[in-house]
Amino acid sequence: MSLQTFDLNLLRVLEALIDERSVTRAAKRLGRTQPAVSNSLSRLRKLLGDDLLVPTGKGMMPTPRAEMLRASVQEVLALTAKSLFHQDGFDPMVDRGMFRISMPDRLNLAVLPPLLARIRQSAPAMDVQIITAARSEAIRLLENEETDVGLGWFDEIPRHCRHEVLRAERLFCVFRPDHPVTQTKFTIDAVLSHPHLVVTGRGRTSAIFDDLLQRHGKKRRAQTIVSSFSAVPQLLASSDLIGVFTQLAADAFTSSYKLMKRPVPINVGTISTYMVWHARNDRDARQDWLRQQIRAGYQRLKPSRPAARS
């Protein structure tokens, strides 16, 4: 007998026959005709090499082999039903496990602290793993089931991934208060005349702003390129470098360090932060709860408004 060719419907027939000890009653229970159940019993006897049920003066009696199979058959049918039709719930106050989120380094500044605090309060037994990943890497992690959610800006999102926009932000120039750019008219040419600090993923030498500048036929000099935002405040405060960041990152720098910000003096639109997840997890209760917390966290952030030009 090959498992590949075994008809699992026969297990339902076997369970009914063992319980009812009658072809007629088993057929009624299954909603099938008596000849159809008799035919299934014949197939089972041939496949398993046992009579399974034998006639006696008190009706049909299961053979020792059938009695031995009873518990296994019930377990297989119950497990199959649970796997196919039962959606496990998620109780954040008691369930244990780990949430895995990928995000660019810039979101660690303003988004991560309140999100972690929210999860700690509402799901105290859940752990959180944050993976710093670029766009293409974030998609790969989702596809390989290494993360639950990816946050960031994505230029291309595969059809098998779901997504929604969490926030659209303006870009801001950040620099020290006595920077030479403050002594002239604040134009894009003035901004580009100074060296820039660029934060980008490993192996890259440009960021989103460079792609946007290219559409206007302009280019900046990336004098210093780093892969983490942690060194940005010190580098900007001690040099003539200019950094261009989204509003959340710019606000984090200027509120904690002696730096100032101004909106980028060219119309490059906004940068959208997306939440992306794999379609196979659409109805997963645990991951749906996580997505709800991320949405709620973004809704509590300071509204994205451009600063007044000076």
Q: Could you tell me the residue ranges of all domains in the chain?
A: 3-85, 97-162+278-299, 171-263
What's the pLDDT band for 48 if we cut at 50, 70, 90?
confident
- Give me the pLDDT at residue 5, please: 53
Q: What is the pLDDT of residues 215-269, one digit of tens each?
A: 999 999 999 999 889 899 999 999 999 999 999 999 999 998 999 999 999 999 9
What's the pLDDT band for 306 if we cut at 50, 70, 90?
very low
Percent of the chain exceeding pLDDT 70 equals: 92
Which of the pair, 167 or 81, is modelled with greater confidence? 167
∠ CA(283), CA(151), CA(129), 5° rounding? 80
Q: What is the pLDDT of residues 270-289, one digit of tens each?
A: 999 999 999 999 889 999 99
CATH number at 171-263: 3.40.190.10
227-244 per-residue burial string, b: 16 or more CB within 10 A, e: under 16 = bebeebbeebbebebbbb
Percent of the chain exceeding pLDDT 90 equals: 57
Residue indicated by tokens 């280019």: 219
160 in Cβ contact with 283 (< 8 Å): no
Given 3.40.50.2000, 3.40.47.10, 1.10.10.10, 1.10.1040.10, which CATH number is that of 3-85?
1.10.10.10
The torsion angle over the Cα atoms of residues 141, 146, 148 and 153, rounded to 10 degrees, is: -20
Average of pLDDT values for 292-309? 73
Which of the pair, 41 or 188, is modelled with greater confidence? 188
CATH number at 97-162+278-299: 3.40.190.10
Tokens of 181: 């750019």
Residue 73 host element (H or E)? helix 64-85
Position 167 pLDDT exceeds 90: yes
Instruction: Tell me if residue 200 falls in helix, strand or coil.
Output: coil
123 in Cβ contact with 96 (< 8 Å): no
Hey, do 3-85 and 97-162+278-299 end up sharing a CATH topology, with the first three levels equal?
A: no
